[in-house]
Structure 1
Amino acid sequence: MALGGMLRNSAAISLHLVGSLQRKKAGASLRRCLHQTLTMAKRLHARRLDGIDHNPWVEFTKLASEYDAVNLGQGFPDFPPPDFAVEAFQHAVSGDFMLNQYTRAFGYPPLTKILASFFGKLLGQEIDPLKNVLVTVGAYGALFTAFQALVDEGDEVIIIEPFFDCYEPMTLMAGGCPVFVPLKPTPTRDGELDSSSNWQLDPTELASKFTSRTKALVLNTPNNPLGKVFSKAELELIARLCQQHDVLCITDEVYQWLVFDGHQHISIASLPGMWERTLTIGSAGKTFSATGWKVGWVLGPERLMKHLYTVHQNSIYHCPTQAQAAVAESLEREQLHFGQPSSYFVQLPRAVQRSRDHMVRSVQSVGLRPVIPQGSYFFVTDISDFSEEWPAGQGVGGWRPPRAQHGLCPPESKMPDLPGAADEPYDRRFVKWMIKNKGLVAIPVSVFYSRPQQKHFDHYIRFCFVKDESTLQAMDKKLREWKDELGA
């Protein structure tokens, strides 16, 4: 074959091979593209996350940092824990080197032992530290573990409104169905401040929420955001209904040591017949003003706790040892001083009550109307005086608090156009306006309500008063500027 023919044949073969290779590459590329398209089309997130992706804390915390505002929204102290607790943590870090390693999965033994001893006396129970106590990553972890362990698909969970906002999504993530019952405010006399004790359950309405599908009721006392401390009579009503319908009680008592004005915290587990159906949840962060330690616990009967152990050992498994050791040493100290003037559980509520009273007086100066809390870190204030007009029929039974002028200018001149969408709850728009224009951060109370109830309770905002004196002074400065503007 002539050289030219050989070259032509070689070129033809090469073109054929290149074409085949290109077609294969194109086919592979097409297959990859189709595969990626099919993969991307698959549902990525679990259905249990539907509707719970938005978190108001992220939104309002971000706003607070952008405007360098005084943060009275988030519930954390901006002052140090007591000296003995800090020293206990230092001992845990610098002492026994084995505290850097794992401890017992369900709780550092000295901590579960002191929790059993300390709370056993308060609840009137013989608590076994190995069977009735679980240490968790904060009270948040305790709540999540409880819902995952005990709430099944289709189970109904009664939640009292307003509620700490994680109760609803945790119920939904476990497959449960939240059933809401509101605390209803009773009208006050003209010029009289409202109190959290005026917000009460309707016994008939509460009883109507119990069905054959009800698995649990969630109780939060002292309540966040309202600061209500449930009375013995209210707890007895709840206990009677739980026993009558064979329902569990998950009780969040993280603020149990912060009770004011002579009110008394009562644990529902201490009532006759309730220990066997109650999980009692506590927090070292709230107890010792050290929220970053993230040490919480659950106390309850073995028949319930064994299921929480199963969830814990297959999820978190273990909590930081050194923080547990510090909490154990702090509780041992408090047990020795319990009920005495030297007890932190005596000193803290007195100091916090002074801060509460200071902040209550201060916010009144600009026309906010506080609801005096019986306990917790928080109080809510009525902002309805700042609204030009409430839509007809909104509120509890169509009722809205009467407008009070406080000797200031008319409401329509107090409030400019608010940021946010027109259909957004009023309190959320108000808080955004207050952060941007007044340099003060609060949390809108509607986030603590179920969607159907939000429009009825969108005229309250929540403040945290567990703050340092310097923070209160910074707040006072902002409020004086606000008041001067109102009087201009």
Structure 2
Amino acid sequence: MFRVVRRTMSSKSSNPASLHNPYFSQGKSQKDVWSLINETAAAAQQELGRPIVNLGQGFFSYNPPDFALKAVNHTITTPQYNQYAHARGNPNLLESLSKVYTKDLGRPVPKEEIQITTGANEGLFSIFFGFLTAGDEVIVFEPFFDQYIPNVEMTGATVKYVQLKYPQKLDKENVTGDDWEVDWAGLEAAITPKTKLIVINTPHNPIGKVFNEKELHRIGQLCIDNNLILVSDEVYENLYYSPKFTRPATLSSLPELKDRTLTVGSAGKSFAATGWRIGWVQGPAELIKYVTAAHTRICFSTPAPLQQAVSEAFGEAEKNGYFELTRQQYLKKYEIFTKVFEELGLPYTKADGGYFLLVNLSKLKIAEDYEFPADILGRGTEDFKLAYWLIKEIGVVGIPPTEFVYPPHRAGNSLEKCLRFAVCKDDSVLEDAVERLRKLKNYF
């Protein structure tokens, strides 16, 4: 599973740093986008002497709901919940999720079909390590959530990239998630005898696209025809803004797809608690057992008091309509935030789900002699310059979306014109951002 790196006696060094895993060389140790942008924001805030509005990383500016906090206060003082949880997960949380998925998937979902993980990212990591070995291939749609790539590559497998095609009309007008079309010819060509998994993200980060039933059917049929597993990253499953959320594991037109679908979920996204690191994977028991095997060796056990708190929070959410209320609150957040882009004529992708907004800022004209630091120039794409300029001149943080693109595909990519903003903030924070962004009209 792991690459073996042989060193000859002549290359032996007295520097212990020379023993590093070679995966983290050749640019892979470059400062990540989150550190680069957040450090830029912190420096600008100190330099300007006033707060910066951070709509970059997808962390919440407010607490989880009171009933979830109450559950934590209860569980953290109960002795049994402060000890190791079972590697499969807290039985109460497994039972809660069994009820949730039984309702959402429209069929009985036993606890044997669920594995609790230390965040959704570790759930993905466990899937990859449970099924991949060196030489295997995984298909990922581009743009992608950036953690997919190293998680796959560390198993020795290779990522094959398939485009969600940038809709050219986004240069001039608003679009929807359906306008971001799958490169179907590219998808079919990417499948080889070495392919094991196709990964989708729905609702999608950074686009906000929810894959529609027709798209899911076509992807699912390819999985069935080629004996592939479909990994459906659904961490934003409770944030969708259409009457229903279509999942690959619920397709009535392709019921056999559920037998090869692994669904990834997140309490952090569902309860505004990204720091709790409680996630899960749902799927057929004969597939879940390999996720369990990998999870047990990666971290063995997920934080016990927080697992119990999430279980209790699901119970309360079912009673008080929390998820529907949250969706309505997010519709209001998008209404607040998109108002400024409507005023300025800056096109964006209307989010079908999630809590991001992808905005085309190509109307902006930045002075040719504007000075950028080496870290920003070193990225080689215009969206990093745009993000830096927006922090320094407007006081608002956005994320350059070419970070979610395979490096050889970044230069000249249409996403260079865009920035991604996170709306998982208090309404007052979004209103502050709107006031600042109105100043952009001076730079058209």
Q: TM-score with structure 1 length normalisation?
A: 0.81
| Pair 1:243-2:221 in alignment | no
Distance 2:137 2:322 in 1: 39
**Count of residue pairs brought into register by the alignment:** 420
Work out the percentage of aligned pairs sharing the same amino acid. Answer: 33
In structure 1, the partner of 2:398 is: 442
Change (3 A) 1:263 1:208: farther
Change (3 A) 1:280 1:293: same
Q: Displacement, 1:364? A: 4.3
In structure 1, the partner of 2:302 is: 319
Change (3 A) 1:486 1:381: same
Match of 2:351 among 373, 389, 393: 373
Give unpaired runs (5+ residues) of structure 2: 1-8, 46-51
SS of the residue 2:139 aligns to = strand
Amino acid paired to 1:61? N
Q: Displacement, 1:91? A: 1.6
Distance 1:266 1:423 in 2: 37
Match of 1:126 among 94, 100, 108: 108
**Is the contact made by 2:126 and 2:291 (CA closer than 8 Å) also made in structure 1?**
yes
**Is the contact made by 2:337 and 2:431 (CA closer than 8 Å) also made in structure 1?**
no
SS of the residue 1:275 aligns to = helix
Change (3 A) 1:186 1:42: closer
| Pair 1:138-2:119 in alignment | yes
Distance 1:300 1:316 in 2: 20
Listed one character per residue, the Cα deviations across residues 32-76 of structure 1 (whole Å, up to 9, x for unaligned) are xx9997332884211333443232111111111222221000102
Q: Displacement, 1:245? A: 0.5
| Pair 1:66-2:43 in alignment | yes
Match of 1:277 among 260, 264, 280: 260
Distance 2:289 2:379 in 1: 46
| Pair 1:385-2:363 in alignment | yes
RCO greater where, 1 or 2, for CA within 8 Å and sep 6 or more?
Answer: 2
Listed one character per residue, the Cα deviations across residues 92-122 of structure 1 (whole Å, up to 9, x for unaligned) are 123x322111221220110011111210232
**Is the contact made by 2:346 and 2:360 (CA closer than 8 Å) also made in structure 1?**
yes
Distance 2:28 2:152 in 1: 11
Listed one character per residue, the Cα deviations across residues 424-482 of structure 1 (whole Å, up to 9, x for unaligned) are 10001110111122211000010011123212131111000121022113213322444
Q: Displacement, 1:249? A: 1.0
Change (3 A) 1:382 1:209: same
In structure 2, the partner of 1:351 is: 329
In structure 2, the partner of 1:52 is: 28
**Is the contact made by 1:138 and 1:296 (CA closer than 8 Å) also made in structure 2?**
yes
Change (3 A) 1:175 1:226: same
**Is the contact made by 2:172 and 2:347 (CA closer than 8 Å) also made in structure 1?**
no
Deviates more, 1:464-473 or 1:362-371: 362-371
Q: Displacement, 1:367? A: 5.3
SS of the residue 1:374 aligns to = coil
| Pair 1:430-2:386 in alignment | yes
Q: How does 1:164-243 map to 2 (within 5 A)?
A: 164-188=145-169, 192-243=173-224
Q: Displacement, 1:85? A: 1.2
Deviates more, 1:160-169 or 1:183-192: 183-192
Change (3 A) 1:412 1:449: closer
Q: How does 1:78-93 map to 2 (within 5 A)?
A: 78-93=61-76
Distance 1:299 1:377 in 2: 23
Distance 1:70 1:85 in 2: 27
Listed one character per residue, the Cα deviations across residues 110-152 of structure 1 (whole Å, up to 9, x for unaligned) are 00111112102322443331x2211111101111111111111
Distance 2:143 2:172 in 1: 25
Distance 1:454 1:448 in 2: 9
SS of the residue 2:377 aligns to = coil
Distance 1:187 1:103 in 2: 50
Match of 2:339 among 355, 358, 361: 361
Distance 2:388 2:170 in 1: 31
Amino acid paired to 2:100? F
Q: How does 1:17-32 map to 2 (within 5 A)?
A: none
In structure 1, the partner of 2:433 is: 475
In structure 2, the partner of 1:459 is: 417
In structure 1, the partner of 2:49 is: none
**Is the contact made by 1:219 and 1:250 (CA closer than 8 Å) also made in structure 2?**
yes
**Is the contact made by 1:73 and 1:443 (CA closer than 8 Å) also made in structure 2?**
yes
Change (3 A) 1:303 1:437: same
Change (3 A) 1:236 1:208: same
Give unpaired runs (5+ residues) of structure 1: 1-33, 387-410
In structure 2, the partner of 1:266 is: 246
**Is the contact made by 1:418 and 1:430 (CA closer than 8 Å) also made in structure 2?**
no
Q: How does 1:110-125 map to 2 (within 5 A)?
A: 110-125=92-107
Amino acid paired to 2:21? A
**Is the contact made by 2:176 and 2:349 (CA closer than 8 Å) also made in structure 1?**
yes
**Is the contact made by 2:267 and 2:277 (CA closer than 8 Å) also made in structure 1?**
yes
In structure 2, the partner of 1:408 is: none
**Is the contact made by 1:160 and 1:180 (CA closer than 8 Å) also made in structure 2?**
yes
Change (3 A) 1:304 1:189: closer
Listed one character per residue, the Cα deviations across residues 151-171 of structure 1 (whole Å, up to 9, x for unaligned) are 111111000111100111111
In structure 2, the partner of 1:393 is: none
Change (3 A) 1:430 1:186: closer
In structure 1, the partner of 2:5 is: none
Change (3 A) 1:358 1:44: same
